[in-house]
Chains A and B, each alone.
Chain A
């Protein structure tokens, strides 16, 4: 092999290696960000669904609900009565 071939080979190895590593790093970073978002979303969904089933198990606030009667007394939606007239 001639000198230019050796020089080209070594530059290709170093620059190609660093370029490949940069690209792989970008892919790993995007994949990790996607997994993190998904886990955080699932965790948020999980907390919401658990709160619907057993709110008392998650926080003490619902047991104090009688102190604030608004949620039970306030009509959720007045439209049905409006519509029935």
Chain B
């Protein structure tokens, strides 16, 4: 399919926004240079949401149509989402140490994000434990649908409960509470991470399709 972005485009997009985020965009008035972490931390978190949403939709389509391509998309997106969640947690911990003075706190946002990580790690582990291809797809799809229930909890946790993590500054009712220049760089980073996500998704789906073809080659003909 021609819609998938090439690897060089993903590298160029991410590289450009990283250079802009580090050297071109002015520092934040309140936090100074440390706020530049936002340009990698927030896209990681948002793309993790997107990845798990893709897993949700692909899981629903697999259960409805039984086409293995949807199952491959679901597992591929879940794995990338798990990586992005992990990166968001670690980059957030570094940001937390710089601003809160500690790497970790049992803050609602951090805790629900950690639960999200564990849920999708479990999704991948459960899939690996099931040998039958179709059953693996069905169980995985069920898990992928139920697991997504935690994503809105993560997002709204900063509104529902008190904690150290700041409330939403962009995805909120009313105007974003962020300077326009910084917002443009943030959105550019999100776009570049989305291109990278699409490229990774394509490659991860190729891997799953190759594994399926290899498994098929092992089965007796008849």
Using a CB–CB distance below 8 Å, which chain A residues touch chain B? Answer: 1, 3-4, 6-7, 9-11, 13-15, 17-18, 21-22, 25-26, 28-29, 32-33, 35-36, 39-40, 43, 47
Contacts and interface: CB of A to CB of B under 8 A. Distances in A.
B174 interface: no
7 contacts: A1-B97, A1-B98, A3-B98, A4-B33, A7-B36, A10-B95, A14-B90
Q: Determine the main DSSP class of A at the interface with B.
A: helix
Contacts of B14: 15, 18
Interface of B: 7, 14, 18, 22, 32-34, 36-37, 40-41, 44, 80, 83, 86-87, 90-91, 94-95, 97-98, 196, 200, 203-204, 206-207, 210-211, 213-214, 217-218, 221
B83 A17 contact: yes
Contact of A6 (B95, B206, B218): B95
A36 B217 contact: yes
A47 B220 CA distance: 11
A10 B207 contact: no
Nearest to B220: A43
Nearest to A29: B207
Contacts of A13: 87, 90-91, 94
